[in-house]
Structure 1
Amino acid sequence: MEHEASSIEGAFFSMDDLSANMSGINHGRNVGKGTRQMRISFGEKGAKRGVCGATADQIVARNLLTLIVDGTTPHVEHAREVTQTLLEVAEGIAPYEIKGPDKLMKIAQGLGLTFDGKSINEVAKEVALIALQDFQKQTGVANWLSLRAHPKSVETWEKLNILPRNAQLARSLSLRALTFISVLILRSVVHLLSRMP
Structure 2
Amino acid sequence: MRPLVVGGEALLIELDSAQEVAALHAELLRRREAGELGDVRDVVPAARTVLLDGVAGPGALAERIARWEVPPLARTEGPLVTVPVRYDGPDLTEVARRWGVSEREVAGVVARTEFRVAFCGFAPGFGYLTGLPERLHLPRRDTPRTAVPAGSLALAGEYAGVYPRSSPGGWQLIGTTDAVVWDPGREPAALFAPGVRVRFEEVTG
For the pair shown, the structure with the greater C-alpha radius of gyration is 1
Query: Could you say which structure has the greater relative contact order, defined with CA pairs below 8 angstroms and 6 or more residues apart?
Result: 2
TM-score above 0.5: no
- When the two structures are superposed, what TM-score results if normalisation uses the length of structure 2? 0.19
TM-score (norm 1): 0.19
Q: Which has the higher strand share?
A: 2
Q: Which has the higher helix share?
A: 1
